[in-house]
């Protein structure tokens, strides 16, 4: 036992070791229970009825045919559903109004004895509605585009500096709607026990779910328990409470039985958020040596009437990325009658960095400079937006280390020059960056008198390995092995903690776990190392530890390298090699960290080449609603892929010295791939994804083949 | 929904006769998707999984009798020599899990123009054996597809097996998709050389309302190979011949614009696949001296 202080976690095993997931065996053997795996006695099943039009009013709900189905229990709709309180999120005000805000919005809920009966009922419910013409199309001229407060920034005199620049890049990039599609669809099992509500939910943060349910059902928070013990991915789609959990609780109240609701995959795009499409104009003005003098990034995007404050904050990374005295960023957003967009892995940053890192590649070509040297030349001394120093910033080091590993030195910059049979080969690079935030958290640590420890915190493991890394932090602080303690997470009955999101989970939870375990060690020392009968328990909160504003910008950085082969006959682009080199503070578990970064990079590869969705102007929602039509890269699309990280020391982060890595891996990947496509073919891909038909047409139009 | 589980083939035919609107289900890789999506809700399903002989195959002198429910993974493992084109196409079907469940009978029953097994069946030459309580008949595969997702089955008939000509020469299959696996074809093409009869077979997928052969392209290529003596000499196919062949293949297509690609792109890509597969089969023919020693 070491007498640990509140300072840094002692660096060394088990922290920094590739500890296998503590819940790995439970997951692969199927004993780990997810939200829909819980079936309380007497559990009924629910199935949603989606709105058939994009905008309008429900004028009648015909239930007779549905209620005639064997096993029918109830059809809930706006005209008879329990009234809800206000949870400050209009997507959660389910079945409260006849108004239809978007196609796919739940307008009725069928509840039955069995799942097939609920489905049959939902199919038999007839919704009559009075549709009105929806507003669905985003254009740069859309009359309702507005710039919300805080959505623009300006320094210097951008127009003049851009006008006077020797080299100018002015390009528009577009990204289609993209869907999170976690492997486990959103599901909840809800049960009322006396006046208490107990819910098993597939969520990235059950405290927020509890708070929302308490507000909606007008309960005290301690009358609500939410369990998210195992979660099959989220990518942001489970970051805030979603309608399914409210519907399950409402149905359980209405039929006075437990109710289970698992959303069908086809309703995820309409009900659980997505990355809204963006139109992004980037202008760079530089001298012939590649020194950027002026940078502007303007984004048009949309939200839904149910989420009026939402926008894809795609200019955020641009503010802090490269030095330039004259700067301008602006985000405009229009409310359209579409499903509510929300968080998708690296919201804002991922979208914006595709545009900016593509534009930087265009500038490198225009200046006849190596794209790595161009980025190095524009490295800022301090955060150009705030003037604050970076707590650590090793972007250039990542670029250079990656160049060595990738074999960049031999690269001939000329495009469309490398031919292997009917393939054109090229390579590209792009930067990655993501904020390294931390949120207050509490945690509890307990020492048993007979030996052994229990660490409790309502963290959520959405497949990242959170359970494992928190055990490592606790064990290192206590000076014991991982197998000498128990870690309990994923329930609101445990000490309150923030969500698994924003790449701040481990930093936030780990800080609280470290603080609790450090304090517990001190208490044990006060007892001369002997834990008294009844044990010792310490509960801590990090709110005050985080309160000081010490004027640093904290971000993780990285560099991604891609090699592509483009078939000159078919236009098929395939990534042959993908390399990411990251600087994200200390890597606490190289096994799970590598997996998260790889996953992000593959998602970025997928964004570059295969993932695309359409906002259907005839119907008002997305026709690509399943994994057969929404193409996520398959194993056969990922060839050689590699992840490395620098040994980055940063004492201004948290006791572990770590930065979040959940989102960093997807940022910049798409640009690395499309920059490589330009190097291979001479075609600049400004509209994602780079699909064969468009790429072939562009190659033919440019006379490249 | 009624769920019928016949214990043998006779019972299955009786069930289908009694319930003509019943949908047969074996691997379920198409039927379950449609049910899950609410695209259809049949009155009854006939589960064919208890009928062992549907999962059996037999190699005869000239043909392979392939049970309707032999899974793709077994075609890949067990019949790559006899049915190389079909085995190559089977490799591109779905994921390993889908290949363990799905078989050719399901592809024929669904009759989607994008089904991966259709081009190699058309190219190799095949007959679909269908049966009912009224008896058994064989339908040449090119007559089996009658429209978009429609086939020649009578309401009381079930697919028993497919008689596919054993390969007597090289066969190839190629498809274009937006990713490397688990993808529905933007377009697909199968090509078979038959050195013994000095004929060629083609099959086109995802470029017309039904899978189709390119008859004019086949006849042109047969004639061009013959006239130049290439079957005997094993000489290179002149680029002009390959180009004309590809043009005639495209002429047999009637593609549409859809989410997977434009009609124009499909025509272009189909020509690429035709030239490419011709290169491959001809290289193999020359290299392996298929049938040339005895020709």
Q: In whole angstroms, what is the distance from residue A108 CA to residue A128 CA?
A: 12
Nearest Cα of chain B lies from the Cα of A8 at a distance, in angstroms, of 46
**Residue A399: what pLDDT?**
98
User: Could you report the per-residue pLDDT of A311-358, keeping only the tens digit for each?
Assistant: 999 999 999 999 999 999 999 999 999 999 999 999 999 999 999 999
| Least confident stretch, A281-295, A357-371, A559-573, B277-291 | B277-291
**Residue A705: what pLDDT?**
67
Nearest Cα of chain A lies from the Cα of B182 at a distance, in angstroms, of 7
Inter-residue contact A663 to A350 (CB < 8 Å)? yes
Q: In whole angstroms, what is the distance from residue A369 CA to residue A637 CA?
A: 31
Average of per-residue pLDDT across A250-277? 97
Beginning with the edge strand found earlier in the chain, give each strand of the sheet holding A152-155 in spatial order.
Answer: A152-155, A326-335, A292-303, A278-286, A167-175
Question: In terms of CA atoms, which chain B residue is nearest residue A697?
Answer: B265
- Yes or no, beta carbons of A609 and B179 under 8 Å apart: yes
User: Could you report the per-residue pLDDT of A469-528, keeping only the tens digit for each?
Assistant: 999 999 999 999 999 999 999 999 999 999 999 999 999 999 999 999 999 999 999 999
pLDDT at B293 over 60: no
Q: Identify whether B268 is preceded by a cis peptide bond (ω within 30 of 0).
A: no
| Beta strands at B63-67 and B150-151: parallel, antiparallel or unpaired | unpaired
Closest CB to A631 among B176, B179, B261: B179
pTM for this prediction: 0.92
pLDDT at A533 over 80: yes
Closest CB to B259 among A569, A629, A692: A629
Q: How far is CA A684 from CA A122, A420, B96, in A?
A: 47, 21, 36
pLDDT at A177 over 60: yes
- Yes or no, beta carbons of B178 and A610 under 8 Å apart: yes
> Which of the pair, A36 or B183, is modelled with greater confidence?
A36
Tell me whether B256 touches chain A (CB under 8 Å).
Answer: no
Nearest Cα of chain B lies from the Cα of A154 at a distance, in angstroms, of 41
Considering the four listed CATH numbers 3.30.365.10, 3.30.950.10, 3.40.228.10, 1.10.10.410, the one that applies to the domain covering A438-546 is 3.30.365.10
Closest CB to B180 among A123, A623, A636: A636
Average of per-residue pLDDT across B14-26? 97
Residues in chain B: 295
pLDDT at A1 over 50: no
Closest CB to B178 among A123, A614, A631: A631
**Which residues in chain B have their CB less than 8 angstroms from residue A614's CB?**
259
**Residue A2: what pLDDT?**
31
**Residue B289: what pLDDT?**
59
Question: In terms of CA atoms, which chain B residue is nearest residue A628?
Answer: B183
What CATH architecture does domain B49-165 belong to? 2-Layer Sandwich (3.30)
pLDDT at B260 over 60: yes
A519 is catalytic: no
- 3-32 in B: which are within 8 Å (CB) of A? none
List the catalytic residue out of A184, A526, A663, A697. Answer: A663
**Residue A4: what pLDDT?**
30
Among candidates B175, B236, B224, B233, which has minimal Cα distance to B199? B224
Tell me whether B180 touches chain A (CB under 8 Å).
Answer: yes
CATH no., domain B171-288: 3.30.390.50
- Yes or no, beta carbons of A614 and B33 under 8 Å apart: no
CA A492 distance to own-chain centroid: 22
Q: Which stretches does DSSP call E strand in A511-554? A: 536-541
pLDDT at B292 over 80: no
Sign of CA dihedral A447, A448, A453, A456: negative
Residues of chain B with pLDDT > 90, as a percent, come to 87
- List helix spans (H) across A256-369: 268-271, 316-321, 349-366
pLDDT at B240 over 50: yes
Q: What are the tokens at A422?
A: 């009917």
ipTM of this complex:
0.82
> What are the extents of the domains in chain B?
49-165, 171-288
């Amino acid at each position: 036992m070491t007498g640990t202080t509140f300072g840094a976690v002692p660096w060394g095993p088990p922290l920094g070791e590739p500890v296998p997931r503590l819940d790995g065996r439970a997951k692969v053997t199927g004993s780990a229970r997810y939200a829909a795996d819980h079936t309380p006695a007497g559990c009924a099943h629910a199935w949603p009825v989606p709105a058939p039009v994009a905008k309008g009013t429900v004028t009648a709900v015909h239930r007779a045919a549905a209620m005639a189905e064997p096993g029918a229990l109830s059809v809930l709709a706006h005209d008879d559903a329990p009234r809800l309180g206000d949870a400050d999120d209009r997507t959660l005000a389910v079945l409260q109004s006849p108004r239809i805000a978007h196609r796919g919005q739940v307008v009725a809920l069928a509840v039955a004895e069995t799942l097939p009966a609920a489905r049959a009922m939902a199919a038999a419910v007839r919704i009559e509605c009075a549709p009105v013409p929806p507003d669905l199309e985003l254009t740069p001229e859309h009359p309702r585009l507005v710039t919300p407060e805080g959505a623009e920034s300006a320094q210097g005199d951008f127009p003049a500096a851009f006008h006077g620049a020797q080299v100018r890049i002015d390009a528009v990039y577009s990204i289609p709607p993209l869907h999170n599609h976690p492997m486990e669809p959103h599901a909840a099992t809800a049960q009322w026990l006396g006046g208490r509500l107990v819910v098993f939910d597939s969520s990235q943060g059950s405290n927020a779910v509890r708070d929302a349910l308490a507000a909606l059902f007008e309960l005290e928070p301690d009358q609500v328990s939410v369990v998210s013990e195992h979660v099959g991915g989220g990518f942001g789609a489970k970051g805030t409470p979603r309608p399914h959990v409210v519907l399950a609780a409402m149905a359980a109240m209405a039929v006075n039985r437990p109710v289970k609701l698992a959303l069908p995959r086809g309703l995820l795009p309409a009900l659980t958020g997505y990355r809204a499409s963006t139109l992004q104009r980037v202008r760079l003005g530089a001298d012939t040596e590649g020194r950027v003098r002026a940078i502007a990034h303007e984004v048009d995007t949309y939200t839904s009437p149910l989420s009026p404050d939402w926008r894809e904050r795609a200019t955020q990374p641009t503010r802090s990325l490269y030095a330039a005295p004259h700067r301008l960023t602006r985000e405009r957003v229009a409310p359209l009658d579409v499903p509510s967009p929300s968080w998708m892995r690296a919201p804002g940053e991922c979208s914006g960095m595709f545009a900016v890192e593509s534009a930087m590649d265009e500038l490198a070509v225009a200046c006849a400079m190596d794209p790595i040297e161009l980025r190095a030349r524009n490295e800022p001394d301090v955060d150009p937006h705030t003037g604050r120093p970076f707590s650590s910033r090793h972007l250039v080091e990542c670029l250079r280390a990656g160049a060595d590993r990738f074999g960049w030195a031999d690269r001939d910059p000329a495009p469309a020059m490398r031919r292997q049979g009917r393939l054109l080969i090229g390579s590209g690079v792009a930067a990655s960056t993501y904020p390294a935030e931390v949120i207050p958290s509490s945690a509890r640590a307990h020492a048993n008198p007979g030996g052994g420890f229990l660490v409790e915190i309502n963290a959520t493991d959405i497949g990242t390995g959170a359970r494992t890394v928190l055990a490592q932090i606790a064990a290192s602080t206590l000076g014991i092995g991982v197998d000498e303690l128990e870690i309990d997470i994923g329930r609101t009955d445990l000490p309150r903690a923030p969500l698994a999101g924003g790449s701040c989970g481990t930093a936030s939870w780990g800080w609280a776990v470290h603080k609790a375990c450090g304090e517990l060690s001190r208490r044990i020392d006060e007892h001369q190392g002997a834990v008294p009968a009844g044990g010792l328990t310490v509960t801590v909160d990090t709110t005050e530890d985080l309160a000081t504003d010490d004027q640093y910008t904290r971000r993780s950085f990285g560099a991604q390298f891609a090699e592509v082969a483009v078939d000159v006959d078919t236009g098929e682009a395939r990534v042959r090699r993908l390399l990411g080199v990251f600087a994200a503070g200390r890597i606490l578990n190289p096994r799970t960290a590598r997996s998260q970064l790889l996953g992000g990079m593959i998602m970025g590869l997928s964004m570059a080449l295969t993932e695309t969705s359409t906002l259907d102007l005839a119907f008002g929602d997305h026709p690509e609603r399943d994994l057969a039509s929404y193409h996520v890269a398959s194993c056969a699309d990922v060839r050689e892929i590699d992840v490395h990280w620098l040994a980055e020391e940063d004492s201004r982060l948290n006791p572990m010295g770590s930065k979040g890595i959940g989102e960093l891996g997807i940022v910049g990947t798409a640009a690395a791939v499309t920059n490589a496509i330009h190097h291979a073919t001479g075609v600049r891909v400004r509209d994602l994804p780079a699909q064969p038909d468009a790429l072939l047409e562009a190659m033919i139009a440019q006379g490249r083949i | 929904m009624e769920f019928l589980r016949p214990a043998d083939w006779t019972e299955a035919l009786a069930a289908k006769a009694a319930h003509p609107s019943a949908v047969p289900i074996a691997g379920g890789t198409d039927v379950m998707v449609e049910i899950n999506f609410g695209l259809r809700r049949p009155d009854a399903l006939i589960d064919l999984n208890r009928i062992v002989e549907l999962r059996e195959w037999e190699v005869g002198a000239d043909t392979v009798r392939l049970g309707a429910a032999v899974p793709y993974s077994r075609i890949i493992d067990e019949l790559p020599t006899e049915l190389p084109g079909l085995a190559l196409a089977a490799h591109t079907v779905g994921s390993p899990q889908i290949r363990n469940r799905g078989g050719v009978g399901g592809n024929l029953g669904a009759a989607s123009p994008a089904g991966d097994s259709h081009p190699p069946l058309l190219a190799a030459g095949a007959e679909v054996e269908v049966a009912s309580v009224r008896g058994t008949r064989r339908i040449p595969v090119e007559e089996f597809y009658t429209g978009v997702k429609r086939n020649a089955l009578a309401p009381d008939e079930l697919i028993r097996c497919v008689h596919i000509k054993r390969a007597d020469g090289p066969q190839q299959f190629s498809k274009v998709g937006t990713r490397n696996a688990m993808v529905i074809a933007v377009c697909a093409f199968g090509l078979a050389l038959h050195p013994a009869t000095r004929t060629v077979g083609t099959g086109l997928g995802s470029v017309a309302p039904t899978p189709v052969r390119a008859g004019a392209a086949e006849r042109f290529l047969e004639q061009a190979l013959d006239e130049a003596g290439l079957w005997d000499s094993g000489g290179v196919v002149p680029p002009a011949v390959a180009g004309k062949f590809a043009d005639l293949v495209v002429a047999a297509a009637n593609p549409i614009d859809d989410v997977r690609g434009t009609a124009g792109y499909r025509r272009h890509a189909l020509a690429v696949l035709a030239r490419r597969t011709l290169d491959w089969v001809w290289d193999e023919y020359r290299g392996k001296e298929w049938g040339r020693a005895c020709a």
